Structure 1
């Protein structure tokens, strides 16, 4: 009897685990209906203590979106236009009416981003460089959110333990200084935006009209 109860308990746990692992299909109906061809990529909101985080993430975001088949407005020209009109940060940009942005730039959609973490930090025996960001694609005519996603990349500098604990502590501090001075976060920002705008899986942004797999996204083929 005891073995029977154990077997039932194991089967129940397996079933519950299987249900938990089944991700809910992402609702792409708004994105498919809007079908944007051009994206206005604007300066992100910066919630991190690093003042250059927004510019670093913005600089790394164009390539993955362009490679996904979208026309991305030149971020340097867009950013300069905002500056000429006294708009110098992501918070102010995101407060501008979407119809006004459409009137000025003529883009189909705008990609809003927020940087939550950026930079290197010291953690006991090593140093970690972390960049995390969220993104939201919004239709400029209707103001409707078409897609949203998030990504977080943390890279750790592995330490050589041959010098003992004291040696590891010293190495971690040195690595943090080096990573900060050389801005390792910029490199990690590239990895983060690549993950943020990844394609081909449930929840990822869909391919744009210039990509060979346009309207043939793998996550749309599964039933």
Structure 2
């Protein structure tokens, strides 16, 4: 029941944010650089974890490939990427993020590199409420020029709320229980999935879909 409520809540947040973006959101991003290079394959390197949660980067990597692939890009397998980077002496995410994007082209044959920094991954407990928060900064760089082709930032929060039963004491206890459950085992994955979906798929802000150019058929005779 808690999981289904959490999924419904994050879906509602996602829908509300998309609706708000359509009405009062920022101006559409320029995709001139992306269209000029038209990358087909994106290498997602290990996330730079700037939080105190040592597991954040490992959890994050399990959520990022699918939304990028759904935009039409080939995404290199995460475990293969990590293994090859280790072989090249780039086992530390900090070193990877300091490297020039052009360095990865001969290693993987990629067109662009996605760098992600995790700046928030926390669960804050206050009295009888718990707030789980994540924040990510996405930067896509060209393997040809090293220039930034696209960037985005997403921050998401979730606070479990007890239903209104009409009995204040029952609701207070229920809310305390839900907050304790969330504090004991914060469910970061739905928030992260929602953040990635918004970053990659929001109209005018997300990654543009891959343009497939079909060769012209030669005329007969």
Query: Does 1:97 find its partner at 2:103?
Result: no
CA gap of 1:167–1:93, structure 2 versus 1, over 3 A, is same
Q: Is the 8 A contact 1:47 1:115 kept in 2?
A: yes
CA gap of 1:110–1:124, structure 2 versus 1, over 3 A, is same
Q: Is the 8 A contact 2:130 2:183 kept in 1?
A: no
Shift of 1:173: 5.1
Q: Is the 8 A contact 1:44 1:58 kept in 2?
A: yes
Q: Is the 8 A contact 2:199 2:205 kept in 1?
A: no
Q: 1:187 aligns to what? A: 190
Query: Does 1:58 find its partner at 2:58?
Result: no
* Higher-Rg member (1/2): 1
Q: 1:30 aligns to what? A: 33
Task: Work out the CA distance in 2 between the residues paired with 1:89 and 1:106.
Answer: 21
The partner residue of 1:162 within 168, 178, 183 is 168
Q: 1:176 aligns to what? A: 182
SS of 1:157's equivalent in the other structure is coil
Task: Work out the CA distance in 2 between the residues paired with 1:23 and 1:188.
Answer: 22
Shift of 1:84: 3.1
CA gap of 1:122–1:168, structure 2 versus 1, over 3 A, is farther
Q: Is the 8 A contact 1:153 1:192 kept in 2?
A: yes
Query: Does 1:138 find its partner at 2:141?
Result: yes
Task: Work out the CA distance in 2 between the residues paired with 1:172 and 1:49.
Answer: 24
Task: Work out the CA distance in 2 between the residues paired with 1:22 and 1:151.
Answer: 13
Task: Work out the CA distance in 1 between the residues paired with 2:92 and 2:196.
Answer: 19
Contiguous gaps of at least 5 residues in structure 1: 1-20, 216-223
Task: Work out the CA distance in 1 between the residues paired with 2:52 and 2:139.
Answer: 22
Shift of 1:72: 0.6
Q: 2:21 aligns to what? A: none
Please give the TM-score of this superposition, normalised by the length of structure 1.
0.75
Task: Work out the CA distance in 2 between the residues paired with 1:105 and 1:85.
Answer: 12
CA gap of 1:146–1:123, structure 2 versus 1, over 3 A, is same
Please give the TM-score of this superposition, normalised by the length of structure 2.
0.75
CA gap of 1:164–1:60, structure 2 versus 1, over 3 A, is same
Q: 2:204 aligns to what? A: 202
Task: Work out the CA distance in 1 between the residues paired with 2:25 and 2:183.
Answer: 43
Task: Work out the CA distance in 2 between the residues paired with 1:54 and 1:206.
Answer: 25
CA RMSD in angstroms, aligned pairs only = 2.5
**Farther off after superposition, 171-180 or 134-143:** 171-180
The partner residue of 2:89 within 75, 86, 100 is 86
SS of 2:185's equivalent in the other structure is helix
Task: Work out the CA distance in 1 between the residues paired with 2:114 and 2:183.
Answer: 33
The partner residue of 2:131 within 124, 128, 152 is 128
